[in-house]
Amino acid sequence: MPKKILFFLIFLIAINASFFQTAIAAEKDSIKTVTLAVKNMTCRMCPITIRKSLEKVDGVISASADLDSKTATVSFDSRKTNIDALIAATTNAGYPSTLKR
């Protein structure tokens, strides 16, 4: 009987390890980073407003905006949001943007 229990425990551990590796890989694949070209940035407050508008989008992990290059860089979970939602966030804040290629 103890050998069966030991085998069962090893089996459960192996299944859990495989599950967590798969989950971690899926999460890593869903993290995307994009750069947006942002219009209407004219002052030092603009990047702050853009960053805050992007950070309100569910799924955004980090956001930054740069006045000199007139861009915003956003890391997000693609299972929770998409590029269109990011563009909508900046546009609704008064800063229309497009995906920078």
The CATH number covering residue 53 comes to 3.30.70.100
The count of domains in the chain is 1
C-alpha span between 13 and 60 (Å, rounded):
33
* Alpha helix ranges (H) inside 1-101: 2-30, 46-55, 83-92
> Would residue 70 count as lying in a domain?
yes
Give the tens place of pLDDT for each residue, 31-63. 999 999 999 999 999 999 999 999 999 999 999
pTM beyond cutoff 0.85? no
CA-closest candidate to residue 100, choices 56, 36, 44? 36
> Would residue 46 count as lying in a domain?
yes
Name the residue range of residue 70's domain.
Answer: 31-99
> Would residue 9 count as lying in a domain?
no
68 vs 8: which has the higher pLDDT? 68
> Would residue 53 count as lying in a domain?
yes
> Would residue 18 count as lying in a domain?
no
Contact, 75 vs 61, CB < 8 A?
Answer: yes
